[in-house]
Structure 1
Amino acid sequence: MASFDIEVSSRKKVIDLFQTWTRFADLTSQGGHLQNDDNDMLPPADTGEALGLGAAKLTFTIGYGPTFFEKDGKDRFGIKHKRPHYLKQIPHMAHDSLKEEYCDGDICVQVCADDQQVAFHGIRNFIRLASGIATIRWLEEGFLRAPKEVTPRNLFGFKDGTANQDHATKSGFQKVVWAEKSEPEWMQGGSYLGYRKIQMLLEIWDRSSLMDQEDTFGRKKHSGAAYGKKGEFDKVDPKKLPTDSHVRLAKETNQQMQRRAYSYTAGVDNRTGNLDAGLLFICFTQNPDKQFLPMLKIMGKMDKLNEYTIPIGSALFACQGGLEPGEYFGEKIFRD
């Protein structure tokens, strides 16, 4: 996942970039690659590391940050009136230790694939094709491994995303994920993407007892069942969970979101000698003011998980719906 800042004020140049990105995404998601012309004295059209690897279920998701629509009080591209209702910078939360280089941005692009090299090829070429128009603000590489229909585990060893089952229907997504009908036309079929980069204090966690770990979440580590229940997806009774447990606090907000979190590792933190690893928390919501931000406020103040985590990155983006044939990224935003 990457965030970009647009360095030009030309509406036409941004449209040209989005059209170029769209052509590349359409081509590579079908297993193709950019073709060279006949001049060997020019750089290759495609960087080449994904040749022969196929599409690997490659997908591109693009989101637009608050500063895409208005930056430093300026409506750079004449699209301020197209800004979605709830799109804003996430306010500082208790327990945050945010670093500017891991936060926000004009545009985000999430590239997913079953092959790590295919995904890297996608984002690498987005960066290359944006040269002179947009610069990379931050780039994160996450991973997710779990058999189909099995809830993945985070680096603490606990299942992450169990609650997605609560709205796993067409009507559930309509209420929880997809944008409201009152949102701008370009966002219909889209959603808000909430992002948090969370560093995990794995060395401290690994010295904690199993009881302490399970009390932190309010679930059994191996089965994923909430306290007082037998199965992972059994309905949670918050009163049976520790008052400061992660799951109890989440349930007591009475809000749902579509979680799509990824683990990350970035070697060793040279300041501490500890592992630099954690969670790239991503969620999709219909109304972040109602579903996402209140949960962050409660978690920041009371969550027992705070003993083992440090939020260091944060952002909110508005994602458009899927493209129709012949449509380019952002076309409906720029349409008069």
Structure 2
Amino acid sequence: MTEASGGVTRRRFLGGLGLAGGGLGIAAAFTGGSAAGAVLGLVDRSPDGRSEQAAGAVSTPGRVVPFRGRHQAGIITPAQDRLVFGAFDVVTDSAGALRDVLDAWTIAAEAMTQGRSVPADDGSPQAPPTDTGEALGLPPAALTVTIGYGPRLFARFGLATRRPSALAELPPLPGDRLDPARCGGDICIQACSDDPQVAFHAVRNVTRLGRGVVVLRWLQLGFGRTSSTTTGQQTPRNLMGFKDGTRNLRADDTAALDRHVWIGTETDQPWLIGGSYLVARRIRMLIEAWDRASLSEQERVIGRRKVSGAPLTGSREYDPPDFSAVRAGELVIPSDAHIRLASPEHNAGRRMLRRGYSYTDGIDLSTGELDAGLFFISFHKDPATFIAVQRILGTQDALREYIVHTGSALFVCPPGLQDGESWGRQLFGA
């Protein structure tokens, strides 16, 4: 769809949102001026004029996670309880229309993360409402909205020169049984919140605002975080009943984040410095088979005690695992135990920031078994880290008998927005 073919022109699209001409203009909406401040409620200014993301803050129903900052919110933000993750395909041929949608998404996302409705136009009852309304009266519940871009997007719209060399489709990996309908995408939106309706509202509204320009390719709902991103959070349990993410990177370990998570000056695309690569994997757990395994088998597969979360060589959850320990001539933590093969010690020091969620999508009609498991999300300075680790896990991990990877995608998440920036301006570079 082109701008000249009856599609969405820049002025018509923004005018429909009350963002062109009079009222709240695009320029005002993306600056710290009084007009934008009154409508969008910009908060928590740091000395350099940006919003600080309170990475170690405790989540409360009314807490606002600042939308702007050095890094996007939703990466090192304290992991919220609920997830709605949408991957979109771009269905227009117009760069202007795509940029308009990204600009509109910026305004909507910033408003929604502050507990506000999508900014309204004149409120004419003859027009559809500019906000779908299901979050009216609900607190923001620490909502974060994080955007990422897939490899195929950069082959279009004159964006080839802005594509980082590290961004490519993930290669086939051992153990994959991927459903193409659950893979890939040009753009992703990750909405996390402590209220499922608030998270759903965010993705529903960006989907509505993008109609005719983008279309949902796949959608995943998540409940129950499966990792902690701050030291103040307790380690959660996954659907196998084990504590998950005990050795995850933490938001207060800034040196480790700089080394393993944030894109730095090594990139061939300076506009991405401060961003990160997002890997999404839908991992179905073979629940029924797992539930028939003995406790000792389950603990051997994972390498930890089920109740305490302690490694098999320790007594407390945070005891460092001793991978060299031997008892009765055998390794205490088996050679194919998940925590051994996933550990930095076994992977040349490679680490990643995990932010996954449990999911359930009913039953597999062909078997009558539960379709449930882990929607795995991780963030990396370089996606090669994930590929290297997964190749080991997919061929050696004892856990592979109880899981299957059914969805896969890779996106690059740009850095956070400064005052005056929008996602459209950031992507297109002007």
Determine if the TM-score, normalized by the shorter chain, exceeds 0.5: yes
2:404 maps to a residue whose letter is: I
Distance 1:83 1:24 in 2: 26
Distance 2:358 2:253 in 1: 26
Bigger RCO (CA 8 Å, 6+ sep):
1
Q: Which residue of 2 aligns with 1:271?
A: 366
Secondary structure at 1:144's aligned position in 2?
strand
Q: How far did residue 167 of structure 1 move?
A: 8.1
Q: Select which of 256, 259, 263 maps to 2:354.
A: 259
Deviation per CA, 1:174-196, whole angstroms, max 9, x where unpaired? 11110021322221111010111
Between stretches 58-67 and 159-168, larger displacement belongs to: 159-168
Structure 1 residues 137, 225: closer, same or farther in 2, change over 3 A?
same
Q: Select which of 129, 141, 154 maps to 2:221.
A: 141
Q: How far did residue 109 of structure 1 move?
A: 0.6
* Residues 225 and 358 in structure 2, CA contact (< 8 A), matched pair in contact too: no
Q: Which residue of 2 aligns with 1:244?
A: 336
Q: Which residue of 1 aligns with 2:391?
A: 297
Identity of aligned residues (%): 45
Structure 1 residues 168, 243: closer, same or farther in 2, change over 3 A?
farther
Distance 1:123 1:38 in 2: 22
Write the mapping of 1:169-248 to structure 2, written as runs, cut at 5 A: 169-183=253-267, 184-239=269-324, 240-248=332-340
Unpaired segments ≥5 residues, structure 2 = 1-84, 325-331
Q: Which residue of 1 aligns with 2:80?
A: none
Q: How far did residue 86 of structure 1 move?
A: 1.2
Secondary structure at 2:423's aligned position in 1?
coil
* Residues 181 and 217 in structure 2, CA contact (< 8 A), matched pair in contact too: yes
Q: Which residue of 2 aligns with 1:329?
A: 423
Q: Which residue of 2 aligns with 1:87?
A: 167
Q: Which residue of 2 aligns with 1:285?
A: 380
Between stretches 308-317 and 144-153, larger displacement belongs to: 144-153
The answer to whether the aligner puts 1:51 opposite 2:136 as a matched pair is: yes
Unpaired segments ≥5 residues, structure 1 = 71-75
Distance 1:164 1:86 in 2: 23
Q: Select which of 203, 209, 231 maps to 1:123.
A: 203
Q: Select which of 12, 36, 48 maps to 2:96.
A: 12
Distance 1:260 1:311 in 2: 17
1:179 maps to a residue whose letter is: I
Q: Select which of 230, 244, 267 maps to 1:160.
A: 244
* Residues 165 and 233 in structure 1, CA contact (< 8 A), matched pair in contact too: no
Q: Which residue of 2 aligns with 1:309?
A: 403
Distance 2:110 2:271 in 1: 19
Q: How far did residue 201 of structure 1 move?
A: 0.7
Between stretches 274-283 and 33-42, larger displacement belongs to: 33-42
Distance 1:132 1:19 in 2: 15
Q: Which residue of 2 aligns with 1:114?
A: 194
Structure 1 residues 81, 273: closer, same or farther in 2, change over 3 A?
same
* Residues 258 and 284 in structure 1, CA contact (< 8 A), matched pair in contact too: yes
The answer to whether the aligner puts 1:2 opposite 2:86 as a matched pair is: yes
Aligned-residue RMSD, C-alpha? 1.6
Structure 1 residues 235, 216: closer, same or farther in 2, change over 3 A?
same
1:321 maps to a residue whose letter is: P
Structure 1 residues 168, 227: closer, same or farther in 2, change over 3 A?
farther
2:171 maps to a residue whose letter is: P
Count of matched residue positions in the alignment of Structure 1 and Structure 2: 330
Query: What TM-score, normalized by structure 2, do the two folds share?
Result: 0.74
Distance 2:164 2:240 in 1: 35
Secondary structure at 1:125's aligned position in 2?
helix
Distance 1:180 1:190 in 2: 8
1:77 maps to a residue whose letter is: F
* Residues 225 and 355 in structure 2, CA contact (< 8 A), matched pair in contact too: no
Computing the radius of gyration from Cα coordinates, the structure with the larger value is 2
Distance 2:401 2:197 in 1: 35
* Residues 167 and 176 in structure 1, CA contact (< 8 A), matched pair in contact too: no
Structure 1 residues 23, 228: closer, same or farther in 2, change over 3 A?
same
1:323 maps to a residue whose letter is: L
Distance 2:174 2:374 in 1: 18
1:257 maps to a residue whose letter is: M
Secondary structure at 1:111's aligned position in 2?
strand
Q: Select which of 413, 421, 427 maps to 1:319.
A: 413
Distance 2:251 2:106 in 1: 31
Query: What TM-score, normalized by structure 1, do the two folds share?
Result: 0.94
Q: How far did residue 334 of structure 1 move?
A: 0.7
